[in-house]
Amino acid sequence: MSRSLLQHPSLRSGLIAGLVTVFLGLVGFLSAFQDDALLVGHLLGANRSLTLGTAVVLAALIWAGARAAPAGRPGWPAPRGPLYGALAGLVAALVLAAFARLGRSVDLRAIFPKASPELYDMVAFSGGAFAGEAGWELLRLLILGAAMGLLGALWQGLAPRSRRLATPAILLVLGLGVFAEQFLLVLAHNGIAEHFRGWLFLKGGGLAAPGAILVAVLAVAAGLAAERGWTPRQALARQAPARRRAILSLGWTLALALTLVLPWLLGSYHSDVLDTVGLYALMGLGLNIVVGFAGMLDLGYVAFFALGAYTAAVLTSKESFLAPCIRLVEGVCAEHMPLTGFWVAVPAAVLVAGLGGVLLGIPVLKMRGDYLAIITLGFGEIIRILAQSDWLRPYLGGSQGIAGIAPATIPFSGIAVAGLRKPQLLFYLILAACLLAVFIARRLRDSRLGRAWMAIREDEDVAEAMGIHLVMTKLMAFGTGAALAGLAGTLFGVKLTTIYPHSFALLVSINILALIIVGGMGSIAGVMVGALVLVGLPELLRDFQDFRWMAFGAVLVWMMLNRPEGLLPDAERRRELRPEGAPAAAD
């Protein structure tokens, strides 16, 4: 009897939702975002705000109800759906109430430092706007849990078309609420923030109720237009070929113009975020050649990033052991070769990193799978340890690193691109490097060498039997990917003007590999999307920094279950991992 009871969908979903919410509270996730307002509106004679922490708790209750509700006819909830949903929300609310009662009776801070009275008030909805008599706390929480569970069950019973229209609207409203502070910074930088305060954004952050309604209506209207074939892509497809080409040319021209002025519209902070995203995208494009095209798992990719950064630093830093020689050469060649400093260090760093990739590839040519990953991981750690060793301290600075790296200059102008002092100028340099990497990756992918890489990725033995030279093909993959990492390392040194060994830890390689997996392994556009999602969003949401790895884990688990091919995969990988007619959760 007890076993069948535990298998009941309402009990199971309610327990999962409640326990996950308790876990998020104990690790400090809920408390960290309790003051971040998403929506603010006038309700019951006072301003009420929906914070991010409270939204997570409510979303867990709604999820429990939606998960527990059985499937019914399209557009109609199942006969037992509302009852099962309300029961699931009730069970989740009971778990939260039990946690709040336990926390107020027993001091949990000795084990969980984030357990606080404020957390208990939050999960039990007994503080702030919900403050009242303590005797009504449990009843109020149970009613709220049942109502949210019922809402989830009703959502599950909506027609697919209704859910398809409502989901983007809800996500857009919540997204604008989360990024309200960032939007206000951009608007304030352009001097127009006051025009949007009050009706769209609030001064302290959050989305105002009128703005939320307007955004939701526009999102639903856009969904209806897409259903009727009024999207720009569909409208373009109906045009004559000559007119279509003209419109596409105009569109690309406008996109390029917008890209060029984008850093000046966003300001220094957001331009710096774009610079960081660009550096990771550049490294991702290089690792994508090794992992995505050739199918060789490389966990020590940060080593080539470090080789490029240290090579450029040694050749341009005023504190380098080569500084006297460099000044002498620059003095002699100043009149005849104005492209000194950074522009000489770039090809040297790319060459050194590419040579390092080839040297790494030679001893691991016969390794595959996990063995290859372990060896490359060790290589990355060896480079980092050597960089901070006393043996190389006179040359690489040891744990103190190398400071005083000269900024890049715009050729023949003398204008310095001075890292953090002018991230807008550095944006163009990184953008040019990324465009060059995209051009190289696209040309290689469609070439004879690219097809050989993909054959090796599918089956090395068959590829060798077909006449593919495994040694040269693998070394070309290692060398090309490492060269792009060296280019990124050079730009990284220019950006920070100082490099340290701890900047090249294993986690950098893990980050790059994660953005390739999330974006779509083997997909050039997927690398860009992965960099925006896994690098850009955490940089914009600084409050999430403490929970970055927990979010990474959750995103990767979701990806493996729902979209193993990635967010924006190439056509071949989509066919491999998503057979014809197979449903996709996020499609």
pLDDT at position 307:
93
Summarize pLDDT for 505-544 with one digit per residue, the tens: 888 898 899 889 888 888 888 999 989 888 888 777 766 7
pLDDT at 129 over 50: no
Question: What would the mean pLDDT of 116-134 be, rounded to a whole number?
Answer: 70
Question: What would the mean pLDDT of 422-448 be, rounded to a whole number?
Answer: 90
Cα of first residue to Cα of last residue in the chain, in angstroms, is: 40
The pair of three-digit structure tokens given for residue 341, joined into one six-digit string: 């400093």
Task: Give which of 488, 500, 312, 331 is closest to 401, Cα–Cα.
Answer: 500
Identify the residue with better confidence: 321 or 570: 570
Question: What would the mean pLDDT of 553-564 be, rounded to a whole number?
Answer: 79
The single-letter DSSP state of residue 299 is S
Alpha helices in 27-136 (DSSP H): 29-32, 52-68, 81-105, 117-123
The pair of three-digit structure tokens given for residue 379, joined into one six-digit string: 């290589």
pLDDT at position 162:
84
- How far apart are the C-alpha atoms of 134 and 126, rounded to whole Å? 8
Question: What would the mean pLDDT of 552-558 be, rounded to a whole number?
Answer: 78
Residue % of the chain over a pLDDT of 90: 19
Question: What would the mean pLDDT of 402-406 be, rounded to a whole number?
Answer: 82
Beta-sheet pairing, 46-51 with 408-409: unpaired
pLDDT at position 265:
87
pLDDT at position 438:
94
pLDDT at position 201:
76
Confirm if 37 and 204 have CB atoms less than 8 A apart: yes
Q: Which residue has the tokens 């850009």?
A: 536
CA angle 139, 36, 538 (to 5 degrees): 125
| Least confident interval from 186-195, 276-285, 432-441, 483-492 | 186-195
> Which band of pLDDT confidence, cut at 50, 70 and 90, is reported for residue 41?
low
pLDDT at 258 over 60: yes
DSSP secondary structure of 172-201: HHHHHHHTHHHHHHHHHHTT-GGGTBTTTB
> What is the edge-to-edge ordering of all strands in the sheet holding 207-208?
46-51, 37-43, 207-208
CA angle 77, 82, 87 (to 5 degrees): 145
CA angle 63, 66, 70 (to 5 degrees): 150
Identify the residue with better confidence: 292 or 538: 292
Mean pLDDT score across all residues of the chain = 81
By residue count, the chain amounts to 587
> Which band of pLDDT confidence, cut at 50, 70 and 90, is reported for residue 441?
very high
Question: What would the mean pLDDT of 183-188 be, rounded to a whole number?
Answer: 81
pLDDT at position 15:
92
Confirm if 209 and 199 have CB atoms less than 8 A apart: no
- How far apart are the C-alpha atoms of 270 and 274, rounded to whole Å? 6
pLDDT at 350 over 90: yes
pLDDT at 335 over 60: no
> Which band of pLDDT confidence, cut at 50, 70 and 90, is reported for residue 336?
very low
Summarize pLDDT for 457-497 with one digit per residue, the tens: 888 888 888 888 888 898 999 999 999 999 999 999 888 88
pLDDT at 45 over 50: no
β-partners of residue 197 are: 201
Identify the residue with better confidence: 117 or 326: 117
Summarize pLDDT for 380-390 with one digit per residue, the tens: 888 889 888 88
Task: Give which of 270, 332, 319 is closest to 493, Cα–Cα.
Answer: 319
Task: Give which of 294, 292, 165, 280 is closest to 217, Cα–Cα.
Answer: 165
Element (H, E) at 137: helix 137-156
> Which band of pLDDT confidence, cut at 50, 70 and 90, is reported for residue 421?
low
pLDDT at 225 over 90: no
The residues, ordered by sequence, that sit 6+ positions from 107 with a Cβ below 8 Å of its Cβ are none
Name the amino acid, one letter, at 330.
E
pLDDT at position 568:
83
pLDDT at position 405:
83
pLDDT at 5 over 70: no
pLDDT at position 586:
39
